Amino acid sequence: MQSVRRLLSGDRRALARTISLIELAGPDAQKALAELYPHTGQAHVVGVTGAPGTGKSTLVNALAKSYRCRDVTVGIVAVDPSSPFSGGALLGDRIRMRDLAGDAGVFIRSMATRGSLGGLARATADVILVLDAAGFQRIVVETVGVGQAEVEIASAAHSVVVVASPGMGDEVQAIKAGVMEIADVFAVNKADREGADHAVMAIKMMQGLAPSPPSSPSSPSAPSERTGDGWQPPVIKTVATRGTGVDEVLQAVEAHAAYLHETHLYGGRERQRVVRELETILRTTLLARLRARLPEERFQDLVAQVAAREVDPYSAVEQLLRAGESL
């Protein structure tokens, strides 16, 4: 594919167009991905997530600036929700990223979640692959940390920064909802506001409630698969608008990256990511194939039967599977 070759040689327009193609999915996207894939696997992927209004975009902006001071190239994927009513989206993360304009070492792409169920994580993962193939050394993925899909995207990253801010009253509630476990670094942003210490304390208390890490966290054999990988997520106070604490966040992310490699956890995470990826693709592909084989009225007929309580949903699925096989 010509666009892929141009992308690999550093053509930014080809990169942007390829991302659009990948977002659409479909056969052309698959072809492009197949060509790109051998060039991926170089970038360290950093997920940044947290409740709305905590300052994620501003922190990403500051973090990218810090990376650029170290001559590290950065790709940014900023994900915002699509409206469930119109299907449109208002993507405003760039407003906070204006400092990065005019720098060829940065590429920012806004992404709407679009409609497809479960497709979001996959689309984001694919866009990350494109930026990875284009040679960006760090890829930062920003998602609103509410909802399973966003947590899923973030957890696909190698290192996850969870952003909280004081004075939101429920800062810990927000963190508790599934995001606590995926954090490798906590940033308490807007730390010049009242209540920052309280927020830090609250996060540390939550950490204290978790089962303690293995006694010798430095030993590479000790950490298990998922829980207690021995990494204690640092809690860092930041004021992203002024750049305060941002270098510490960067260092924590880099320390985490180094830790993953030293402890050989990196390979484990990659494997987990691939397992999830394959399962997702398999699921959507199988569903699409089955639906394509089954006459629509047959499906709708069963829907009506289940709705009328004539058939239970599990039996309905069994029927669909059998019908799909016999066709």
- Stated as kind and residue range, the H or E segment containing 38 is none
Residue 89 makes contact with another protein by CB under 8 A: yes
CA-to-CA distance for 28 and 22, rounded, in angstroms?
8
Residue 119 makes contact with another protein by CB under 8 A: yes
Structure tokens at 172: 């810990």
Residue 130 makes contact with another protein by CB under 8 A: no
Please check whether residue 57 is in contact with residue 120, taking contact to mean a CB–CB distance below 8 angstroms. no
List binders of another protein among 234-253 (CB under 8 A). none
CA-to-CA distance for 153 and 163, rounded, in angstroms?
15
Residue 169 makes contact with another protein by CB under 8 A: no
- Stated as kind and residue range, the H or E segment containing 123 is helix 119-133
Residue 152 makes contact with another protein by CB under 8 A: no
Q: Which is nearer to another protein, 119 or 213 (CB)?
A: 119
For the bound state, the minimum distance from the C-beta of residue 41 to another protein, rounded and expressed in Å, comes to 23
CA dihedral 289, 295, 296, 300 (to 10 degrees): -110
Instruction: List the one residue from 4, 108, 154, 157 that touches another protein (CB under 8 A).
Output: 108
Instruction: List the one residue from 10, 24, 173, 313 that touches another protein (CB under 8 A).
Output: 24
For the bound state, the minimum distance from the C-beta of residue 112 to another protein, rounded and expressed in Å, comes to 5
List binders of another protein among 25-54 (CB under 8 A). 25-26
CA-to-CA distance for 69 and 306, rounded, in angstroms?
60
Instruction: List the one residue from 40, 82, 280, 305 that touches another protein (CB under 8 A).
Output: 82
Q: Nearest Cα to 139, choosing from 122, 156, 120?
A: 156
For the bound state, the minimum distance from the C-beta of residue 288 to another protein, rounded and expressed in Å, comes to 9
Residue 83 makes contact with another protein by CB under 8 A: yes
For residue 187, the cross-strand partners are 163, 236
